[in-house]
Amino acid sequence: MTRFTDETERVLRASGWRPGRHVDTSFWRKRLESGGFRWNTAADRFLGEFGGLAVDISGPGITSAREPFELDPILVEGEGDRFAEWAEVIGESIAPLGELDGGRHFLGMSESGGLYLVADWLASFGRAAAALESLILGISPAPVAE
């Protein structure tokens, strides 16, 4: 069984990812925790493999436009209150992952591994590998009721 579709794997590899990739997340964790963010194991594992990638995609997708995203949690600094408020709504912490569409939206990961679009509204892309598929292939996230 393959982890990603051919298209998703092609885009990830073009962005610098490879199977077995490992990134040290300690800098991000320390800096963001000192700024009031809650870090979690799911985000740490995800960023350990995909952190630092800038995925430059655009154009039509399956149910929405394909938008570029960058998996650098430092890009979320200053948004701790927003993340904390949405964490209360879903009942678990949301750690920062990066930004979507040049900072128009943010990305975060819950303790249970859900990848979220975080803005004035909250939406779920699903879990880890499936969420990356959705981001890369242009599948709209499911809004989370407040």
More confident position, 14 or 146: 14
* Cα 19 from chain centroid (whole Å): 18
Q: Which helix (H) or strand (E) holds 102?
A: none
Tokens of 80: 């701790």
**Alpha-carbon gap, residue 2 to 70, rounded angstroms:** 24
pLDDT for residue 1 is more than 80: no
Residue 89: band (very low, low, confident or very high) from pLDDT cuts 50, 70, 90: very high
pLDDT digits 0-9 by tens, 50-72? 999 999 999 999 999 999 999 99
pLDDT, position 2: 57
